[in-house]
Amino acid sequence: MEVCNLPLSPSQRAKLVSAGYTTIFSLSSISPLDLARDLNVSHNEAAQILKIALQSTRFDQSINNNASIVTGGQTAWDMLREEQFITRITTSCEDLDNILGGGINCQEVTEIGGVPGIGKTQMGIQLAVNVQIPLECGGLGGKAIYIDTEGSFMVERVFQIAEACIEDLLESRVFQQQDYQACRERMQPKTFLTNIFYFRVCSYTEQIALINYLEKFITENRDVKIVIIDSITFHFRQDFDDLALRTRVLSGMALKLMKLAKSFSLAIVLLNQVTTKFTEGSFQLTLALGDSWSHACTNRVILYWNGSERFAYLDKSPSLRSASAPYSVTSNLWNDELCHPYLWAHFKRSIMLLGASSWLTHRGSFRSVAV
Amino acid sequence: MANKKIADMGLPKSIANLFAARNILTAKDALSLTEFELMELLDVGLAQVISAVAHISEITCPPFQTAHSLMEERHHNEHLAGHLPTQLKGLDEALCGGIPFGALTELVGPPGIGKTQFCLKLALLAALPINHGGLNGRVIYIDIESKFSSKRMIEIGAKSFPEIFRLEGMAKEMAGRILVLRPASLSEFTESLQQIQLSVLQNQVKLIIVDSIAGLVSGEHEREAPRQHSLGWHISFLKSLAEFSRIPVVVTNQVRSQSCGDAMYSFQVQNEHEIVKDPERLELHLVAALGIHWAHAVTTRLVLEASSG
């Protein structure tokens, strides 16, 4: 192995090469003192270089000796066993959970995209609440990080969803009489809200900075089990002219997110916008940020309208088959029953003043304006 | 925070100097590069670069708040928890109290449905004293299509709030709080937005209305692509203006007709032949102008429609 492949700075590399140390082998039997003299650097620096060289020889040898003991590797069998313990976060919609294999996977990056008003932010908020369902109710009892790039996070809505979620949990507990009262006291919408860490990001630089910083933040707050970015797209769509830079920055970000998901075993959910793309003579909808970004996420879910019903489509997953499931956004929960189609209107971003009776009241008072 | 100087971040002197020498001056410059690019540029080891990037990131990244503290803050500091009531009962209920502060609300509807009338009423409401359900502030009304009518507004005021408008001089005071701007072109519009940014906080501006944003671009651009691009800046500007001054921003949008069904995802297209057979899909129907990019940026969209019968 060549010295050029070591993770050293260019000037250190140049010094090594010009002093005749071209292979790692040539570094293996030299003392830091000699190296410092040969390269004309401080002892400390020489020791650093040797340390880096030593690490890479170890790696090198293990490849030659036995493929199964490469450091950092894991056999497929071990992975299978580990997978059985992967936890999932429910979406509160049974059909959607089914096509996702039980919910949003921890340890994976999931991208959710859809047209404006389809309920992406609702999905994000719902997950931030659902991750906090206590362990004894079959949840994760974790905390959530919500990164808002668009400014569409509505606290009132979080409160509503938290309330509804608690109602739901208590209802299923009613039959078990014991600890009902204790549960009731412990689960307050206030606690749910306290466990959501909200970051408002105003530029793509801040977005990158925050993702770099997350590792430290999560190390300090170990019980964070989900990171939601709403949306990954916004700043990258507004102020980027250099598309090559955009791709590079985005893929760097995707790698860091995947690493986070694995090392802290938490779920990462990225919300994405859609754009139109001209293919085969017609306009088609597709998720934003281009083709190379599509490779970045492990799972991809597309939310779409089918007539007047909302559907979710699992577009990409390494282990599950593509499938669709209907869902709806209601005043209380993101779930599979359709009720009060107009109450959630605000949160759906689009208010369709269509429902007959409600329309009439609006209409009536509106007329009085226009007299 | 993105333009914060690296020199002021308290990095070790030696590495801070290297950043300065390579003309990497702000967090934005540094974070747009990968760690390996930085290694090459600065000529230092990986470990140092990683710790420098971590340090810059930590300083640049915005502070967090829990959702709970966010809600407490809104309830404490803001009148009606951050909503401008429209005084239309059903609508206020659906909107959790009215047009939300800090967000972009869009009105969409066919010509003549009453978008401008709605805007006039909102302008009045924001100007009204607090004890009459208003915000007691100034209003900036950007009237792009020259539809604003003071006479009509006073008429609406006199009908809806006779008790205020009967008082001597009140009509003058209310109308005096509403500042109307009439930019003739996109560049003038851009200019007035930049001016507004400075005066919003100083002058107690409590509402910004833009009627109608579509009028501005439909005349100037023929093709789809430049239109999307040119408005991208305006919408994010309006949105951040709303958010950081914590005031409601209301924009109106026109509708245009679309002949066939909506654009679909590629996985839906397989079933397209079935959908096309459906005769209703072939009829003309109305959709909001300005495209999907614009719609993503809007926080709340109100669709005004006439019910048949």
pLDDT tens-digit readout, A32-65? 888 888 888 888 888 888 888 777 766 555 444 4
**Can you give the pLDDT at residue A60?**
54
Domain count, chain B: 2
Percent of chain B with pLDDT over 90: 6
User: Chain A window 217-256: which residues touch B at a Cβ cutoff of 8 Å?
Assistant: 217, 234, 237-238, 245, 248-249, 252
- On whether both B94 and B199 belong to a single domain, the answer is yes
CATH code at position A119: 3.40.50.300
**CA closest to B59 among chain A residues:** A209
Q: Which of B1, B46, B61 to mutate to test the interface with A (most CBs of A within 10 A)?
A: B61
Q: Output the 3-class SS for B214-246.
A: HHHHHCCCCCHHHHHHHHHHHHHHHHHHHHHHC
Least confident of A134-148, B16-30, B271-285: B271-285
Sheet architecture: strand order including A350-352: A350-352, B300-303, B104-108, B249-253, B205-211, B138-143, B178-181
**CA closest to B305 among chain A residues:** A353
Residue B164 in 3-state DSSP? Answer: helix
- A361 CB neighbours in chain B (<8 A) are 88-90
Q: With an 8 Å Cβ cutoff, is A206 touching chain B?
A: yes
For residue B90, give the nearest of A128, A212, A361 by CB distance. Answer: A361
Nearest to B102 by CA among B84, B129, B122: B84
Q: What's the whole-number mean pLDDT along residues B184-195?
A: 85
- On whether both A174 and A277 belong to a single domain, the answer is yes
pLDDT of B108 over the 50 cut: yes
**Can you give the pLDDT at residue B227?**
47
Contacts of A247 (CB under 8 A, 6+ apart): A290, A292, A293
B228 within 8 A of B159, measured Cβ to Cβ: no
- A212 CB neighbours in chain B (<8 A) are 31, 53-54, 57-58, 61
Cα angle B241, A342, B271 (rounded to 5 degrees) comes to: 95
- On whether both B37 and B157 belong to a single domain, the answer is no
Domain closes at, from A41, A69, A97: A69
Residue whose tokens read 């006291």? A185
Contacts of A303 (CB under 8 A, 6+ apart): A112, A113, A114, A115, A118, A119, A120, A123, A310, A311, A312, A313, A327
- On whether both A125 and A246 belong to a single domain, the answer is yes
**CA closest to B49 among chain A residues:** A9
For residue B293, give the nearest of A146, A275, A322 by CB distance. Answer: A275
**CA closest to A303 among chain B residues:** B265
Range of the domain at B15: 6-60
Strand partners for A2: A23
Inter-chain residue contact A345 with B293, CB threshold 8 Å: no
- On whether both B123 and B230 belong to a single domain, the answer is yes
List pLDDT tens digits, range A74-95. Answer: 788 888 887 777 888 888 888 8
Least confident of A276-285, A337-346, B109-118: A337-346
B148 within 8 A of B212, measured Cβ to Cβ: no
Inter-chain residue contact B61 with A206, CB threshold 8 Å: yes
Least confident of A103-107, B194-198, B269-273: B269-273
Inter-chain residue contact A193 with B267, CB threshold 8 Å: no
- HSE on the CB side for A301, CA within 13 Å? 31
pLDDT of A224 over the 50 cut: yes
In a domain, A367, yes or no: no
- On whether both A298 and A234 belong to a single domain, the answer is yes
pLDDT of A241 over the 80 cut: no
pLDDT of B2 over the 70 cut: no
Strand partners for B107: B252, B302
In a domain, B196, yes or no: yes
**Can you give the pLDDT at residue A366?**
30
- On whether both A23 and A95 belong to a single domain, the answer is no
- On whether both B15 and B108 belong to a single domain, the answer is no
- On whether both A247 and A100 belong to a single domain, the answer is yes
Q: Which of A55, A156, A243 to mutate to test the interface with B (most CBs of B within 10 A)?
A: A156
Å from B268 to nearest chain A CA?
Answer: 9
- A154 CB neighbours in chain B (<8 A) are 100, 103
Tell me B174's DSSP state.
H
What are the angstrom distances between the C-alpha of B89 and each of A109, A351, B177?
Answer: 43, 15, 26
pLDDT of A131 over the 50 cut: yes
Range of the domain at A281: 87-339
Nearest to A274 by CA among B266, B257, B260: B266
In a domain, A350, yes or no: no
In a domain, B309, yes or no: no
pLDDT of B61 over the 80 cut: yes
Q: What's the whole-number mean pLDDT along residues A258-283?
A: 85
Label residues A51-78 b or e (16+ Cβ within 10 Å = b): ebbeebeeeeeeeeeeeeeeeeeeeeee
**Can you give the pLDDT at residue B225?**
46
ipTM of the complex: 0.79
**CA closest to A188 among chain B residues:** B68
Of residues A162 and B94, which shows the higher confidence score? A162
In a domain, B144, yes or no: yes
Residue A178 in 3-state DSSP? Answer: coil
Q: Which of A131, A155, A190, A340 to mutate to test the interface with B (most CBs of B within 10 A)?
A: A155
* Radius of gyration, alpha carbons of chain A: 26
Q: What CA–CA distance (Å, rounded) separates A339 from A359?
A: 17
pLDDT of B1 over the 70 cut: no
- On whether both B203 and B131 belong to a single domain, the answer is yes
**Can you give the pLDDT at residue B285?**
62
pLDDT of A309 over the 90 cut: no
- B34 CB neighbours in chain A (<8 A) are 248, 252
- On whether both A118 and A55 belong to a single domain, the answer is no
- On whether both A21 and A145 belong to a single domain, the answer is no
**CA closest to A195 among chain B residues:** B66
**Can you give the pLDDT at residue A198?**
93
What are the angstrom distances between the C-alpha of B71 and each of A96, A122, A141?
Answer: 30, 17, 22
In a domain, A208, yes or no: yes
A293 within 8 A of A249, measured Cβ to Cβ: no
Chain-wide mean pLDDT for chain B? 80
- B88 CB neighbours in chain A (<8 A) are 361-362, 365-366
Q: What's the whole-number mean pLDDT along residues B136-144?
A: 89
List pLDDT tens digits, range A10-28. Answer: 888 888 888 888 777 777 7
In a domain, A42, yes or no: yes
**Can you give the pLDDT at residue A176?**
61
In a domain, B18, yes or no: yes
pLDDT of B97 over the 60 cut: yes
- On whether both B56 and B86 belong to a single domain, the answer is no
Least confident of A197-206, B243-252, B254-263: B254-263
- On whether both A184 and A40 belong to a single domain, the answer is no
Band (pLDDT 50/70/90 cuts) for residue A270 is: very high
Inter-chain residue contact B299 with A151, CB threshold 8 Å: yes
A266 within 8 A of A106, measured Cβ to Cβ: yes
> What distance separates the 2 farthest-apart alpha carbons in chain B?
77
Q: With an 8 Å Cβ cutoff, is A21 touching chain B?
A: no
Q: Which of B265, B298, B304 to mutate to test the interface with A (most CBs of A within 10 A)?
A: B265
Q: Sign of the C-alpha dihedral, residues B208, B214, B215, B220?
A: positive
Q: Which of A191, A362, A368 to mutate to test the interface with B (most CBs of B within 10 A)?
A: A362
Chain-wide mean pLDDT for chain A? 77
Domain count, chain A: 2
- On whether both A55 and A95 belong to a single domain, the answer is no
- HSE on the CB side for B81, CA within 13 Å? 11
Q: Which two tokens stand for residue B161?
A: 């709030």
In a domain, B308, yes or no: no
**Can you give the pLDDT at residue B240?**
83
CATH code at position A15: 1.10.150.20
DSSP conformation letters of A89-112: E--S-HHHHHHTTSSEETTSEEEE
**Can you give the pLDDT at residue B292?**
76
**Can you give the pLDDT at residue A147?**
94
| Range of A166-175, B124-133, B218-227 with top mean pLDDT | B124-133
Strand partners for A326: A311
Number of inter-chain CB pairs under 8 A, A vs B: 235
Inter-chain residue contact B67 with A158, CB threshold 8 Å: yes
Residue B136 in 3-state DSSP? Answer: coil
